[in-house]
Amino acid sequence: MDLQLPDETDLLTEIAMAYYQNGATQEEISKRFAVSRIKVGRLLRKAREEGIVEITVKYHPVFSANLEQQLIDRFGIKRALIALDQPHEEEQRSLVAGLVSGYLSNALTDDTVVTVGQGRNISAVAEYMGVTAKRNCRFVCGIGGIHPRGGLTNADHICRQLVKKFGGSSETLYAPAFVNDPTIRASLMANPTITQTLDLARKADMALVGVGDMSSNSYMVDLGWFSAQEVSDARMHHGVIGDIAGYDFFDIHGNTSHNIMSDRIIGLNIEEFKQIPEVIAVASESSKSLSLLGALRTGVIDVLATSVSNAMAIINLDDLKQNKA
């Protein structure tokens, strides 16, 4: 490999250093480096854009560490990645995604196998801008295709995006996520290509999944995954309040026994996710606190990524529930 530096980078770095670390003014720097003051400004901007200078706003470190610790203590998870609250849903997602992205760039090494779920939150992780070293890991779809066309939040597309970002290879599950007839599912599940991919997904080192609430998956009704009747049944009679990866349902107690459509899904079920050593659950929307509580109680989750307010809400809800009991 070539060890030559891109010439300018050196300058950028030195200038950024002088400005941000040593507190020099742009004018001083312009003299020292014999460039116009205005150019110094431009170089500094470039340094920020290229990620040479990174400005991060964290929650107060002590406090956010406390939050994390609480979640760890209560739910036996390994880490909690907690992002600042943002007024806009989009930005909130991106902020949470940034934390996950950072976490992954530490955690992923050569030969790590990651099972990838679907949805906007996972998609945001893959889309999150930011340079990182390439390595040779494998991203495997944990579920078939959901949105038939232009599915930017489908697992296969996300996998490819993740490869772009982190390096490695991706493996697509060539099947729809949902079929109407259990017998069709059975025949798909017998297909060697599909079996192979699913087997890899089951034995992955990590999984990256979203957590949904019951409103967020109304699109499932639209897509014909199941009937409005079934949804209402699940909510009313079985107390289902959320899902992992889009289709593995649970109630507020983390009970996962009411899975109404596991016989029509091509994707990992909740027991299979449990077998994966590190399941990273991502959920940024503030409407999901209750679902997250249930999700944490299933014991599936090892790393939770969410917002400050969700984290606090989860803890408060858990308190409530415990006091009742």
Partner DNA sequence: CCTCTCTGTGTTCATATGTTCATTATAATG
Partner DNA sequence: CATTATAATGAACATATGAACACAGAGAGG
Among 68, 205, 278, 318, binds a copy of itself (CB under 8 A): 68
Question: Least distance to DNA from the beta carbon of 56, Å?
Answer: 17
**Pure H helices in 167-307:** 182-190, 192-202, 218-222, 228-238, 270-275, 289-297
Task: State the Cα–Cα distance between residues 202 and 185, nearest whole angstrom.
Answer: 18
- Give, in order, the Cα–Cα distances in Å from 159 to each of 3, 156, 171, 208: 30, 5, 7, 10
Among 12, 19, 207, 240, binds DNA (CB under 7 A): 19
CB 179 within 8 A of CB 266: yes
Q: Looking at residues 23 to 52 of the shown chain, list those that interact with DNA (rule: CB under 7 A).
A: 25-27, 35-39, 41-42, 44-45
Question: Least distance to a copy of itself from the beta carbon of 104, Å?
Answer: 13
Does 17 engage in binding with a copy of itself (CB under 8 A)?
A: yes
CB count within 10 Å of CB 95 equals: 19
199: helix, strand or coil: helix
Task: State the Cα–Cα distance between residues 175 and 197, nearest whole angstrom.
Answer: 10
Could you tell which of DNA, a copy of itself, none binds residue 236, using a CB distance below 5 to 8 A set by kind? Answer: none
Residues binding a copy of itself: number (CB under 8 A): 43
CB 182 within 8 A of CB 93: no
Binding mask 92-131 for a copy of itself (x = CB under 8 A): --------------x------------------------x
Question: Least distance to DNA from the beta carbon of 44, Å?
Answer: 6
Segment lying near DNA (by CB under 7 A), choices 20-28, 162-170, 243-251, 293-301: 20-28
Q: Which residues of 177-206 are buried (b: 16+ CB within 10 A; e: fewer)?
A: bbbeeeeebeebeeeeebeebbebbbebbb
CB count within 10 Å of CB 149 equals: 6
Does 132 engage in binding with a copy of itself (CB under 8 A)?
A: yes
Task: State the Cα–Cα distance between residues 291 and 249, nearest whole angstrom.
Answer: 10
Binding mask 23-62 for a copy of itself (x = CB under 8 A): ------------------------x--xxxxxxxxxxxxx
Could you tell which of a copy of itself, DNA, none binds residue 58, using a CB distance below 5 to 8 A set by kind? Answer: a copy of itself
Query: What residues line the site for DNA (CB under 7 A)?
Result: 19, 25-27, 35-39, 41-42, 44-45
Q: Which residues are at the interface with a copy of itself (CB under 8 A)?
A: 1, 3, 5-6, 9, 12-13, 16-17, 20-21, 47, 50-66, 68-70, 84, 86, 106, 131-135, 312, 315-316
